[in-house]
């Protein structure tokens, strides 16, 4: 990687000129580029020393960003969205990039290959990704083993769970319950993923009967907080009804949103998968805003979808998000992005006269 990175050191600040790397990276198939990134991000666990300077400059731990939530300390509110580290191979590397927390998965009970390739595409002009991965992952046993080796974690970890493709819809609940049992007390929160567009029938589980049964059973098994992650493609009314009901049934929080199947957002869409990144930004925000109007103060809200700047992260926080997540932005803006967003958040919070992020969460709801 060093061949193409222009690294310069000034007062222990290491900056990576991503504009030099990006054209080369984007010559690779998106999935190959992701594997390359994974190879690099595995390194901080194996040989931490060379990465310490990067960690020190990129992990922003300013008191103003610290908050206690879900029984743990979040040193900053910017986390990695599910789907990047499906197999828990990069936990240390992700912290090195400056993320305040990570979410591994989606993990399914059995390993599965996911959909046929190619299944990930870039819309470069639109700074967006279209993916139809289909929960490719090494399966719960392997991921659990890896998580056990990483314990204790230095940043909070969410465990995002889903059903296997071959599990019939009527059996789906058993997959989720099995995963909750297996990962109980092995992370800081669970995420129920029934909002990916890439597993046939999965989004049909976004219904009252399933959610009610799932949360009732899950809450009897685990004390770990459980979030429901929702799709951006339902009407605001339906989303409010669904999330309100989930909270009544025991959900500890809502993550909004997953990718969208609104292909009109890009000029040359593929006919599979879901869109993320810049084109999702407004759609995701509007749905988050609608839910937050109803649920802010009653549950914990995490906003994800097209966040690519401190201003956008701050908009979500003031709308009611305790935490935000990023995935696609990292692909288009590179490894300095999380540091820049956190530094920007510190600046914005101070400019508004806040002494801690918790004072800004939901500031626009009052």
Ligand X SMILES: Cc1cc2nc3c(=O)[nH]c(=O)nc-3n(C[C@H](O)[C@H](O)[C@H](O)COP(=O)(O)O)c2cc1C
Binding mask 225-264 for ligand X (x = CB under 6 A): ----x----------------------------xx-----
* Sheet strand arrangement including 274-277: 120-123, 128-131, 274-277
Which ranges of the chain would DSSP assign to H, the alpha helix?
18-25, 30-46, 52-58, 91-96, 140-150, 172-183, 208-221, 236-248, 281-295, 310-319, 328-333, 337-351
Measured over the CA atoms of residue 104, residue 194, residue 79 and residue 34, the dihedral's sign is positive
Q: Token digits for 82?
A: 């599910």
Q: Token digits for 355?
A: 């002494």
Cβ at position 179, least distance to ligand X in Å: 13
**Stretch of 13-21, 138-146, 287-295, 322-330 lying at the interface with ligand X (CB under 6 A):** 322-330
Relative to beta strand 7-10, strand 13-16 is antiparallel
Q: Token digits for 174?
A: 């058993």
Asked if 280 interacts with ligand X (CB under 6 A), we say yes
**26-65 residues near ligand X, rule: CB under 6 A:** none
Q: Assign 326 to helix, strand or coil.
A: strand
Query: Quick one: 106 or 115, whose CB is closer to ligand X?
Result: 106
Asked if 306 interacts with ligand X (CB under 6 A), we say yes
Is 276 an active-site residue?
no
Residue number of the CB closest to ligand X reads 83
Cβ at position 216, least distance to ligand X in Å: 22
**Stretch of 1-9, 209-217, 273-281, 348-356 lying at the interface with ligand X (CB under 6 A):** 273-281
Q: Token digits for 349?
A: 């919070």
Asked if 82 interacts with ligand X (CB under 6 A), we say yes
**Stretch of 62-70, 76-84, 110-118, 358-366 lying at the interface with ligand X (CB under 6 A):** 76-84
Query: Quick one: 51 or 74, whose CB is closer to ligand X?
Result: 74
Query: Quick one: 57 or 196, whose CB is closer to ligand X?
Result: 196
Catalytic residue among 57, 196, 303, 322: 196
Q: Token digits for 200?
A: 């046939």
**Which residue among 327, 349, 360, 361 contacts ligand X (CB under 6 A)?**
327
**Stretch of 87-95, 288-296, 310-318, 320-328 lying at the interface with ligand X (CB under 6 A):** 320-328
Q: Token digits for 7?
A: 């690294």
**Which residue among 193, 199, 243, 299 contacts ligand X (CB under 6 A)?**
193
Asked if 328 interacts with ligand X (CB under 6 A), we say yes
Q: Compute CA 112 distance to the chain's CA centroid, rounded to the nearest angstrom.
A: 21
Asked if 134 interacts with ligand X (CB under 6 A), we say no
- Of 345, 330, 315, 230, which Cα lies nearest the Cα of 278? 330
Cβ at position 6, least distance to ligand X in Å: 26
∠ Cα 140 143 145 (to 5°): 105
Q: Which residues contact 76 (CB under 8 A, 6 or more apart)?
A: 59, 60, 61, 62, 65, 66, 98, 99, 100, 342, 345
Asked if residues 131 and 276 have their Cβ atoms less than 8 Å apart, the reply is: yes
**87-106 residues near ligand X, rule: CB under 6 A:** 105-106
**Which residue among 69, 132, 133, 292 contacts ligand X (CB under 6 A)?**
133
Binding mask 154-183 for ligand X (x = CB under 6 A): ------x-----------------------
Asked if 305 interacts with ligand X (CB under 6 A), we say yes
Residue 234 burial by Cβ neighbours in a 10 Å radius (0-12, 13-18, 19+): middle
**Which residue among 126, 131, 206, 243 contacts ligand X (CB under 6 A)?**
131
Q: Provide the 8-state DSSP code for 261.
A: -
Q: How many residues bind ligand X (CB under 6 A)?
A: 28
Under the rule (CB under 6 A), what is the footprint of ligand X?
Answer: 81-83, 86, 105-106, 120, 129, 131, 133, 135, 160, 193, 196, 229, 258-259, 276-277, 280, 304-307, 326-329
Q: Write out the catalytic residue numbers.
A: 196
């Amino acid at each position: 990687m060093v061949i193409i990175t222009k690294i310069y050191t000034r007062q222990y600040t290491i900056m990576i000129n991503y504009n030099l790397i990006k054209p080369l990276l984007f010559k690779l198939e998106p999935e190959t580029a992701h594997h390359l990134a994974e190879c690099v991000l595995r390194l901080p666990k194996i040989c931490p020393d060379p990465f310490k300077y990067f960690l020190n400059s990129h992990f922003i731990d300013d008191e103003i960003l610290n908050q206690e939530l879900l029984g743990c300390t979040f040193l900053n509110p910017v986390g990695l969205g599910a789907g990047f580290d499906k197999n828990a191979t990069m936990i240390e590397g992700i912290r090195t990039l400056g993320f305040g927390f990570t979410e591994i998965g989606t993990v399914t009970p059995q390993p599965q290959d996911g959909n046929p390739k190619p299944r990930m595409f870039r819309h470069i002009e639109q700074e967006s990704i279209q993916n139809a991965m289909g929960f490719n992952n090494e399966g719960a046993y392997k991921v659990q083993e890896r998580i056990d080796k990483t314990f204790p974690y230095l940043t909070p970890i969410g465990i995002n769970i889903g059903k296997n493709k071959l599990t019939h819809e009527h059996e789906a609940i058993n997959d989720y319950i099995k995963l909750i049992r297996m990962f109980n007390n092995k992370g800081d929160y669970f995420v129920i993923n029934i909002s990916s567009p890439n597993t046939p029938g999965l989004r049909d589980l976004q219904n009252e009967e399933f959610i009610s049964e799932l949360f009732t059973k899950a809450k009897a098994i685990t004390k770990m907080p459980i979030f429901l992650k929702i799709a951006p493609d339902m009407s605001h009314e339906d989303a409010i009804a669904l999330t309100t009901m989930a909270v009544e049934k025991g959900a500890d929080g809502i993550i909004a949103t997953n990718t969208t199947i609104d292909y009109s957002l890009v000029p040359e869409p593929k006919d599979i998968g879901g869109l993320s990144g810049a084109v999702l930004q407004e759609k995701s925000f509007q749905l988050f805003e609608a839910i937050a109007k109803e649920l802010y103060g009653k549950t914990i809200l995490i906003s994800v979808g097209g966040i690519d700047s401190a201003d956008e992260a701050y908009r979500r926080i003031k709308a009611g998000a305790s935490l935000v997540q990023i995935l696609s932005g990292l692909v288009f803006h590179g490894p300095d992005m999380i540091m820049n967003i956190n530094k920007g958040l510190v600046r914005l919070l101070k400019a508004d006269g806040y002494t801690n992020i918790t004072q800004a969460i939901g500031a626009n709801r009052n």
